[in-house]
A and B are shown apart, each in its own frame.
Chain A
Amino acid sequence: MISAAYNQWNFNLPVLSLCVNRNGDFVAATLGDGTARVLPASDEAVTPKVVAMHDGISLSLQPDADDHAFLSGGDDGKVLILDPVLGETNVIAEVKNTWIDHVAASVDGKYRAFNAGKNIHVLNEEGQEVFDPGLSVSGTPGAVSFSPNGKRLAVSHYNGVTLWWVGAKKPEAETLEWKGAHLGLVWTPDGQTLLSGMQEGALHGWQLADKKEMRMEGYASKIRSMGFTARGKYLATSGAEQVICWPFSGGGPWGKQPLMLGGAEGRLVSCVAPHPKDEMVAAGYNDGMIILAPLDGRMEVMINPPEGSPINGLVWNATGDALFASSESGRVLLFTIGSVKSALVHAG
């Protein structure tokens, strides 16, 4: 088949990260030369804006606390805000002689956090450090993440995840222990449960109120991408031949089988993006294939053929009518509901 993409851009540089802002109206892709390319998250035909970001590369790109901007940390030890309209950056923090692995901003817009090695910095709206001395963890962080209500900060590391209340006068660390290297973090939309993807292809989760734990195994690779489907019903995850969706409605995932969507032998899901409104997940594979998979048992639809380079980013715009995908080799693809439908009609 041919791709159902409405538009595509080839940057001929590795795409590091693909991100949509909180307003859902701009998409940014960071590239291997230290720049970002910024696009409106619609089918508007414009030339992507080129924005110089870091000396070296951006190591983490996230939606900013300002709903319309992006937050980035990089090789040069700088944390900066990218304004997609102006195409400009503003450095808000810098740590000398090190690099910034992870950045995060709270949804309520009050806090930004980042790590430099094992040290965690939390900034308030004015850009000042909230805690003095700062926070630290026992191992280098795998992710920095705010709870959905912005009141708690979680940092994953080797052998566990550490939490703080960011509004507290004196920060008290609470560490949830589990052996192994914890990488990415995801919160349930109600903020009650925190899950981490692990180095050895497993998920580990904690229900925060009673510390009841959950462990999901059997993945063929690290889980690089995970997200909750509309209304928090399922946690969709990459890392296996199929999109593995753990049920979180009606008492949680304990003792239940996951939904397994799409898939074919010999390729692994590298990226997932649940639709913001509909019960559907977009999934990219390590051979470039992209599918749309409904959660209700209907057949999945392939919208991009396996073209070789792994899909490493997938994001929806706010309205859910445009899907952006990036490949490691440097392409960004845009699919619209219209382009997908016409490709399907064309394919019969």
Chain B
Amino acid sequence: MSQIPVTVLTGYLGAGKTTLLNRILSENHGKKYAVIVNEYGEEGIDGALIVGADEEVYEMNNGCICCTVRGDLIRVISGLMKRASTFDGILIETTGLADPAPVAQTFFADEDVASKTKLDSVVAVVDAKHLLLSLKNAKEAENQIAFADVILLNKADLVGAGDLAHIESSIRNINRYAKIIRTTRCNAPLDKILGLGSFDLNEILKRDPDFLKGEEEPHHHECGEHCCCGHHHHEHDCESRHDSSISSVSLISSNPLDPAKFEQWIMDLRAKKGPDLLRYKGILDLMGSDNRLVIQGVHMMMDGTNRLPWNEGERRASRLVFIGRNLDEKALREDFARCAA
């Protein structure tokens, strides 16, 4: 049975999530969606199967904070999958204050949900006018950026071009790998939002074979050329970026990894730093295997069961990306280098 793709929409109230939902549901793409919303009977969404969720977070394993799942999503998705009326995808709307981690973790941790659905992508809708302020004041805003595969920089028409570039660089400081789309009334092409397989590196590589390549040089702590220098917001913005404890680190190794060493390292890392690791994804070339191992994780939960053969003539390498809080880039690089066979 094929797994139904799930798209998670995050963003603050007023950023434009409902506008986006309505666009997705009303555009003529021949696809049917089930929508899981926060509040049943929400206004302005019609023409689709709408079910309510109540953001009930379960801590699993006796209260481990980073093994949380969304109990309501388990129930609602299990119910949806039993229906005879089929649909092509599920959209989950979360409130601006909801933590995206339990949502994403539900797709790893619950056997029923994991067997019948797959997380396609996390789409954050942000209000260009208010993003910088939100980032400064709220951990939730940072989390949403950190977790996103696609970021709609909405209401872009209300902000000047220079400011937009600056906002984008602030986003990049947190999440170097998300796709940023500037929109007005969420007018992004839907094929850039839905059915991306963003959480699935195999899909990403199909679309963009160079994804994760290069960019080995860290630039996210610099106040460099494509940043805010010379701009009138310079001072307080540079300050805000350095306040942010979230960053991205990309690790690349052209030598095959020792499977035992890598497994031990990633296990220890998750155990020690799990709460700080917001998202990580990687493709690994393990010594003695003709298959590449694709891993993805959120906090302590990791899925590393996906093995596919390397493509003919493909340059074998291991690439691993972390988006997290207080990442010690130097230590990560050194430890990862030690995993080489």
A222–B111 touching, CB < 8 Å: yes
Residue pairs across A and B with CB atoms within 8 Å: the count is 58
With CB as the reference atom, state the residue of chain A lying closest to B110. A199
Contacting residue for B82 out of A57, A158, A181, CB 8 A: A57
- Which of B57-65, B160-168, B176-184, B229-237 faces chain A? B57-65
B67 CB to closest chain A CB, in angstroms?
9
A312 to B72, CA, bound (A): 22
B138 within 8 A of A: no
A172 to B79, CA, bound (A): 32
A139 to B71, CA, bound (A): 10
B314 CB to closest chain A CB, in angstroms?
32
With CB as the reference atom, state the residue of chain B lying closest to A118. B54
B83 within 8 A of A: yes
Interface residues of A (CB under 8 A from B): 13-14, 16, 31-34, 56-57, 59, 75, 97-99, 101, 117, 139-140, 158, 179-181, 199-200, 221-222
A301 to B169, CA, bound (A): 66
A59 to B63, CA, bound (A): 29
**B 96-120 binary contact with A (CB < 8 Å = 1; else 0):** 0000000000000011100000000
B60–A200 touching, CB < 8 Å: yes
Chain A residues in 8 Å Cβ range of B85: 33
A181–B71 touching, CB < 8 Å: yes
B111–A221 touching, CB < 8 Å: yes
A97 to B40, CA, bound (A): 7
Chain B residues in 8 Å Cβ range of A34: 84
17 A-B pairs whose Cβ atoms sit less than 8 Å apart in the complex: A13-B84, A32-B82, A32-B84, A57-B83, A99-B51, A99-B79, A101-B75, A139-B56, A139-B71, A140-B54, A140-B56, A140-B75, A199-B58, A199-B60, A199-B69, A199-B74, A221-B111
A57–B79 touching, CB < 8 Å: yes
Q: Is the interface of A mostly helix, strand, loop or mixed?
A: loop
B41 within 8 A of A: yes
B40–A98 touching, CB < 8 Å: yes
Chain B residues in 8 Å Cβ range of A32: 82-84
Contacting residue for A59 out of B52, B72, B79, CB 8 A: B79
Chain A residues in 8 Å Cβ range of B112: 222
B110 CB to closest chain A CB, in angstroms?
8
9 further contact pairs, Cβ within 8 A, besides A14-B83, A56-B83: A14-B84, A32-B84, A139-B56, A140-B72, A158-B56, A179-B62, A180-B58, A180-B62, A222-B111
A221 to B61, CA, bound (A): 13
A101 to B60, CA, bound (A): 22
Sort chain B's interface into a size bin: 20 to 34
A13 to B85, CA, bound (A): 10
* Given A179-B59, A180-B60, A221-B111, also A117-B54 (CB < 8 A): yes
Chain B residues in 8 Å Cβ range of A158: 56, 58, 71
Chain B residues in 8 Å Cβ range of A56: 83
A97 to B110, CA, bound (A): 27
7 smallest A-B Cβ distances: which pairs?
A32-B84, A33-B84, A181-B58, A13-B84, A200-B60, A16-B82, A179-B62
Interface residues of B in 77-94 (CB under 8 A from A): 79, 82-85
Contacting residue for B79 out of A33, A75, A140, A222, CB 8 A: A75
Chain A residues in 8 Å Cβ range of B82: 14, 16, 32, 57
Interface residues of B in 277-330 (CB under 8 A from A): none
Chain B residues in 8 Å Cβ range of A33: 84-85
With CB as the reference atom, state the residue of chain B lying closest to A15. B82
Q: Which of B63, B69, B111 has the most CB of A within 10 A?
A: B111
Chain B residues in 8 Å Cβ range of A101: 75
A326 to B189, CA, bound (A): 44
Q: Which of B51, B62, B82, B111 has the most CB of A within 10 A?
A: B82
A181 to B110, CA, bound (A): 12
Q: Which of B54, B62, B84 has the most CB of A within 10 A?
A: B84
With CB as the reference atom, state the residue of chain A lying closest to B81. A14
A248 to B60, CA, bound (A): 28
Chain A residues in 8 Å Cβ range of B110: 199
Chain B residues in 8 Å Cβ range of A181: 58, 60, 71
B40–A179 touching, CB < 8 Å: no
Chain B residues in 8 Å Cβ range of A180: 58-60, 62
With CB as the reference atom, state the residue of chain A lying closest to B71. A181
Chain A residues in 8 Å Cβ range of B54: 117, 140
A234 CB to closest chain B CB, in angstroms?
25
Chain B residues in 8 Å Cβ range of A59: 79
A221 to B110, CA, bound (A): 9
